Amino acid sequence: MKADEACRIVSLQRRFHQSGATRCLDFRRDQLLKLKRALVEHEEDIFKALHSDLGRPDTESFFGETLFVMTEVDSALRNLSGWSRPNRVPTPLMMYPGSSLVYPEPYGVSLIIGPWNYPFQLMMAPLIGAIAAGNCAVLKPSEISEHTSSLIAGLLGEIFEPSFVAVVEGDREAVTSLLSERFDYIFYTGSAPVGRIVMEAAARHLTPSTLELGGKSPCIVDRSLHMEPVMKRIAWGKFFNAGQTCVAPDYLLVRKDLKEEVVSGLLSTIKAFYGEDPSRSRDYSRIINRRHLSRLTALLSEGKTLCGGVADEESLYLAPTLLDEVTWESPCMKEEIFGPILPVLSYDSIDDAIEEINRREKPLALYLFTEDEEIQNRVISETSSGGVCINDTIVHIGTPHLPFGGVGESGMGAYHGKATFDTFSHRKSVMRRSLVPDPAFRYPPYAKMTALFRKIMARLIQ
């Protein structure tokens, strides 16, 4: 993509936004309904594209992609009027008679850059919020998930005018060309290194941005009365989409006296989920490409492989893998794994677990399995992460009522449900006042009224 083409698209959208068409709630509602109908009509095509890119079983694509997007669009349609309504806030007594309101207004032309691991959902969810808030949008899907990128371009090209929603396909050159343009908002999902590049580009135009990144999300396992569902929920959350999930449990921190039980339980659960040979399972995804497969197999250079570790370059397969005898200095603990490798470490006390987590960058998610409320409250209050899920994994991102986002190295800003609408909305402060009464003490000369004014203010702020 050439720079002049990026400039043309942005200029086209800016003119359309300035026409005022997107400020109409009926227009926004109609566009969301178009998108919803397209999702229903093309669900099988979406599944096929995702399977071509990731070897994804349809059930995982349904729960991880299309159901999620349908939930988001339904939430926006149901709540659009309420979200768009001005919010009245208190007005100080000294400013009476008057009223104070906060108006949500669209930023304008937004840029949405998506990743390859959930290539449909992570483009559509921000788009829904951008449309609901009254913005135009330029979407840049990941070229790595090429089949889904092509599907998104075709689907959105059928239902939206490019002056409102445009899809730009291509590699780094396309991203570079887009980032050289001035957008009113940028929403990026992906890795932290590229997130820094996006922030640098945004800073040139002082463009507000949301960064949805990742990190090493810990999973603490303490004593539970029901260990079987604990094993199932950990294995499901870790190996869903072959571990290529930004909020997948990245490593286990298991209480030392439980480690043997947990390892044994996970080994049995993996076998129950995917059979003796997971490569033959219809319920297990594949790695996105050879480069990522090579990166993942390199992480197995240290530690004891308890199960898995088997890779096939031709089919992009990496078996569900448990790693024991790893340290905090092992290769698999130096970076986000983003694949089906689960290191198992142990701790003596919850104090030790909290200390180890706090030594590292703030994760996108933190998981804790315990029925001890005191430990639950301590982990919530004494650690920092994008989100916390207790006694389950990854499901906390599936509700439109909880904002989802990172903190520190794991990102900035949040979305899902109303939070997505808020992300793509500028909160404009408006005060309305009457011209009468118009007391003289606020105007020069001040000398005669200064003492009286100070007395009045002292009483008002007591």
What is the Cα–Cα distance from 238 to 394, expressed in whole angstroms? 9
Find the catalytic residue in 65, 72, 212, 336.
Answer: 212
What is the Cα–Cα distance from 127 to 29, expressed in whole angstroms? 13
Architecture of domain 3-213+413-426: 3-Layer(aba) Sandwich (3.40)
Find the catalytic residue in 136, 246, 332, 389.
Answer: 246
Closest by CA to 338, choosing from 170, 175, 149, 118, is: 118
Q: What is the pLDDT of residues 210-219, one digit of tens each?
A: 999 999 999 9
- Overall average pLDDT of the 26-34 stretch: 98
What is the Cα–Cα distance from 360 to 339, expressed in whole angstroms? 20
Q: What is the pLDDT of residues 344-391, one digit of tens each?
A: 999 999 999 999 999 999 999 999 999 999 999 999 999 999 999 999
For residue 424, what pLDDT band results from cuts at 50, 70 and 90? very high
Q: H/E/C letters for each residue in 385-423? A: CCEEEECCCCHHHHCCCCCECCCHHHEECCECCHHHHHH
Per-residue tokens: 107: 């930023």
pLDDT of 457 above 80: no
Q: Residue 212 pairs with which residues in a beta bridge?
A: 189, 411
Q: What is the pLDDT of residues 257-306, one digit of tens each?
A: 999 999 999 999 999 999 999 999 999 999 999 999 999 999 999 999 99
E strand or H helix at 8: helix 3-18
Domain 218-405 has CATH 3.40.50.2300: no
| Torsional sign, CA 87, 91, 96, 102 | negative
Neighbouring residues of 339: CB distance < 8 A, sequence distance ≥ 6: 242, 243, 244, 287, 292, 295, 296, 299, 318
What is the Cα–Cα distance from 306 to 52, expressed in whole angstroms? 30
Domain segments of the chain: what residues? Answer: 3-213+413-426, 218-405
Q: What is the pLDDT of residues 389-421, one digit of tens each?
A: 999 999 999 999 999 999 999 999 999 999 999
| Confidence (pLDDT) at 445 | 79
For residue 3, what pLDDT band results from cuts at 50, 70 and 90? low
Q: 212 an active-site residue?
A: yes
Q: 409 an active-site residue?
A: no
